[in-house]
Each structure stands twice: as C-alpha cells, then as structure tokens.
Amino acid sequence: MVQFWLKTVTAFAVKPSPLVAFVTVIVIGVVGFYSLHFPFHSAASIDASRFSHVFLSSSSNATISNYLRALTVHPHLAGTKAASVTARYVLNHFTGLGLRAHTARHSALLSYPLRSSLAAHFSDGSSLEFRLGEGEGDEEVVAPYHAYSPSGSAWAAAVFVNYGREEDFRLLAAAGVRVAGIGAGAVVEAAERHGAAAVVVFGDDTWPRGFERGHVMRGGIGDPLSPGWGGEDGGESLGLDDSKVLKRFPKIPSMPLSAEAAERILVSLGGAPLPLDWRGTLKSSKVRNVGPGPTMLNFTYQGEMKVATIENVFAVIKGREESDRYVLLGNHRDAWTYGAVDPNSGTAALLDIARRYSILLRLGWTPRRTIILCSWDAEEFGMIGSTEWVEQNLVNLGSKAVAYLNVDCAVQGSGFFAGSTPQLDDLLLDVIKKVNDPDSEGTTIYQSWAAAGGKSNIQRLSRVDSDFAPFVQHAGVPSIDMYYGKDYPVYHTAFDSYNWMTEFGDPFFHRHVAVTGIWGLLALRLADDSIIPFNYLSYADQLQVYNDILSNLLEKQISLHPLNASIQEFASAAKEANDESKKLRLQENSDDFVDMKIRALNDRLMLTEKGFLDVDGLRGRQWFRHLVFGPHRDHESKLDFFPGIADSMSELFKMSEKERVAAIQHEVWRVVRAIQRAASALRGDFT
C-alpha cells in the first residue's frame, strides 16, 4: 500500500472538491401557466430610477463592517450551537427591519472530526509529529479535517504527486513511480482506486501555517440521506448502510495539511527526480525528488457522522403587482472557521441590502415582483441547505422563479468577477455601469471591465462550487454569481478572520459596498422592470461559440448540422422575443390588454431556461439535468459546456469506434432537442 502525499493548489480553491461524481435521480415535469392579471402600476414602476438612486446613495461601508464583525466573533460550523446563534442573528436583523422573515429547517447528515494525528519518520532515524491546527488561541476552531472522510490509519511511504492530475501520474509512471490519482475529493477517489492507504492534501497558495478544510463527499450535492428530495424531520431518510449512501463517501481516510508542514516532508523525499514541468508549481526551490520515501508517514484520523438540523433563513418582500413571481438573492452563512471572507463578506452584504430595501419601503416603494433574501446553511458540506430547499420547492421554482442572484464570498481581494446564464449578460453589464470601481477612482466597474475584455469577462455556471448550482443545474433558474477577488491565501483556514479582512482583503470596505450595490440593483431591475430584462440573443451567441469550438474537436463522421440548425432556430426565437419586448415597451400602460401581453411574454422569458433541462439528466448523474451548463465527469475535459457531450468524449477508450461515434452523436441530439425545447418555450407555441 502506497501512502500518497498529494499537493494541490486547487484542492480546495472551489467548493465542493472537484471530484464529486453525481448519481442522484429525480424526474419532475415542470409546466408554465398564466394566472389572472390585475394591473396595478406601483410607485416602483413609475419612479424606479429614483429608488435605484436612493438604494445606491444609502450605502455605508461602516455598517457593512459592523455586520461582518458581529458575524465573525465566533466560528460557526453548520450543525453547531454557534451556527444556530448566527442564524438567529440574521433572522433578528430581518425582523428588526420590519421585514417578514422565517426559518426553514432541514435534517441532514453532517461530519465532524474526533481526533487525528500525523507524524513523519525520516531516514536519519528522527521523527516529527505535526501540530494539526493553526496555533494557540484557536480552541473554538474545528480541527483541520475533510468532512465525510472515513476513520482510519496508515503507515506508508510518502509520494509527491503535484496537482494530482492524471497527467501528473503519467509522469510519475514514466519515472517508474507506481501511483495514481487526482486533488482533495478527486485525489481521494483515484488514490482509493489504486490501492492507497490514505491521502494528505495541502494548498501551496495558502498562508504557510493554514490548513484548508473541506469535504470529500462525492456522487452529488445535498444531503446524502435524502437524494432528490428535501430532508426534514419525520420525512423519508435513507440509512447509513444504504448502498446509495455508501457510494457518496470514500473508503480511505484523508486530511488537509499546512504548506509549512508539507515542505518538511517534501524536502526529505528521495526516489525519482522532480519532473521539470512541476518545478514551477512549488514555492520552495528545495524540493528535488518525489519519492516514494524514504520518509514514512504515520497517519490517523477518527471522525463521526451524525444527523443535524440545519437552518435556512428567509426575508420576503411581497410584490404588489406580480406577487407570484420571485426574484431570489442568496448567500450561505455557515463557515469552516470564522468565515470573514467565506462566506460572511457575502452575508454582511445581504444584511445591508435588507437594510437599504427597508429604507425604500419606508419611502413608498413596493416591488412589482416578490423579492426573497435567502441565507443558506451547510453549504460547506456540499450546498446542502440550498439543495434541500430547491428540491422541496422544485415545481414552484420551475414556474414562478424569475432569477437567482448568488454571492458567496463577496470580497476575496481585488477585481470584480461574475458568471451568469447568458440571457442575463446585458443586464449585468448595464448595472455595473452604475457602480463605481472601488479600486480605480473616477471610473465605473464597467469601464474597468471594458478595458480588460468587456463581455468576454463573464464566466458561465457549469461549476459546482456554490449555491447557484442547484438553481441552474437542477431547477433551470436563470442565475448570476459574483464576487471581488479571485483567490486569497486564508481560504478555509482559521486565519479567515475579521482582522484579515480589515488588514488585507478590504480595509475600507469599499469593495463590499460595490458588490452590495451591484447585487441589490440587479434584484431591483429584475423585480421592478415591467418586462423582465432577459436577452436571449446573448444565449444564442454563446451557443454558437460552443458549436464552433465543438466542430474543431470532433471528427467529420459526427454531424453537428442538427446542432447548428437548432441554434439558428433559437436565435430566431430570441430576435422575435426582443422585437416583441421593444414593441410592448412602446405600448406600455396604454390598456389592460397590453399588460396581459407583457405578462404572457414574461412567462415565456422565465420558462425558456427550463427547456435546457432533460428529465433523464446526465448519464450516471441524473440529478444534474441541464444539458448546456453542468459539471463534467472528466475534470481534465477541454469542454466547460455541454456536459453530456463532454462525458461521452472522455469515455471513448471504453468503446469501439462505432459505439464511440454513436454515443457522441446521441449526446449531440440530446442537446439539439434541449435547444429546440427552449426555442419553443420562448415562442410560446406548440409544434
């Protein structure tokens, strides 16, 4: 048995760990409907620009700073008493502002450490037992661990495998080192497959003494005991010995390690020389070899899994004209440690949006559509809080949700980043024209973006690293995810504190103000514009880009003509919808019949995203139903779109040439039918 020493800069750069494979099954049909419409032209629709100005002008960096300080006094890991106290703080904040608020509780399987140890035994006979924690004064902080790791122990030689990618293991194999695997969760799965005894992972970009906590659950997101339905007390729950549940957990133990401790081991390795391609990935220039050994590692981890109550907190601002249409803003509240960046910079922003909306309400504003502020729990364990809620409310989300706006870590550092489903691109760009760039005096965020690539900066939402995932990839709700700063060195460590934020992340909280402004303005537009501000021509353009990329990767015998034709059909429907929107805006407020037409158009704009869902889901991962945006089984895939096609391309070695072509062509046809469904929904006509 070979003890793996695994280093990954990306092991916990996103959540959950990148190796999750998804198998949960759910098949639910969602239908749109038109309800009776009684027009009421509210103050918001008449004077929306005034309320937007008031929203922006009521910003307060000191207020956001105070919220963050209060949220991060104690660590608040999901399922603990401290987490419940934090939930009550958020609830009391909402109710104190006069907002209607409530808590939705779910039962979920969580995982906690009991004890762990790691010692290195060097070739000169000396040994070193590592301190598994950030230092003195961190007694409140949970010990570094990987949630859902099984208990176990190992005594084996250390091997360094760089990022843990398949290409890294191929290099090792070429050097005569027989190991294999890939990064935290993915590394554990691969290491288990190749007979490893245990896994330790460190992040080279973290502070030297920081330990990146995370989880290694695989096979899906959400509570493993309620796959496909919302877990609740008294409801159906699978047993821990159920085969569906057991598949979600690795069979070998793992734990995180600090970069400081990792270097002590790496510099002691002998064996095969460090490959040239790996020398740029390590900060230390002292590492010369990859092992195995001669250093031996003595590894022990003991943990427990237990069902706990998690708490999602909501504030509802009821719409006056279309109260049955919902705009949702979400952030998760739970943290591995103090969570100043992840996630409570976003929580502080959400609390400030609530404060600012309460000011608008006192001035006479009422949104046209209902706004819901969502504070999720247990995101760090695999988006459990948001996933359970989405599963429980799937039909209503399918027919009534306008959009979901997600902020996880509001501020990690400098630079604004955003991802969206493409029909929201133009709205996002329009809003950032109205918000000042906190890092460049006299310019807007849009101007800074335009100088750096403009619309091409917008990312897509195929990742599974935050609470937008269940909304986009399971429910088909148009979504945006945004944050300031790409990476930060205290990720998931005990150093993610209020002090770090005030010293390094955002000392004057100007970036927090910027994110809060964008987030709140996006919701105001989506809630108050008479015609929902979606532009599906952007979606058509994105699909065409994907078609062009795919055509350069696939062989001639796989036909993309049907895909291209379906995209053209969708583009035509998108142009018709845009033309209809322009016409109705000119006729707006003329009579009730026009209001009915606007309502009908809005329903089609809302439901179009659902067309990209497939009731059968991705092969082997049926919970993921979106055929344009979703995670791929192969983490080294060249495609970050069309996950079904990407999966079929990555499994070619298992098939004959004829089977290979047929499998890819079938996945292409599935995407074709999805695009056709979306075009049909946008037009609102039967075939």
CA neighbor of 494 nearest in space, from 294, 683, 338, 671? 338
Is residue 192 flagged as an active site residue?
no
Peptide bond into 489 cis (omega under 30): no
- CA atoms of 45 and 52, how far apart (whole Å): 11
Per DSSP, which regions of 407-557 are E strands? 416-420, 479-484
Crossing angle of helices 510-528 and 48-57, in 10° steps, is: 160
Crossing angle of helices 536-553 and 561-587, in 10° steps, is: 170
Per DSSP, which regions of 455-544 are E strands? 479-484
> Residue 86 is inside which H or E element, if any?
helix 81-96
Render the burial of 50-76: b for 16+ CB within 10 Å, e for the rest. Answer: ebbeebbebbebebbbebbbebbebbb
Peptide bond into 39 cis (omega under 30): no
Tokens of 169: 């293991």
Please name every residue paired with 120 in a beta bridge, in sequence order, or none if there are none. Answer: 128, 297
The residues, ordered by sequence, that sit 6+ positions from 358 with a Cβ below 8 Å of its Cβ are 97, 98, 99
Catalytic residue among 379, 380, 609, 667: 379
Contact 9, 278 (CB under 8 A): no
Please give the C-alpha separations between residue 31 and each of 86, 394, 423, 610, in angstroms, as whole numbers: 37, 11, 20, 9
Identity of the amino acid at 492: H
- CA atoms of 77 and 38, how far apart (whole Å): 46
The residues, ordered by sequence, that sit 6+ positions from 499 with a Cβ below 8 Å of its Cβ are none
Instruction: Return the active site residues.
Output: 379
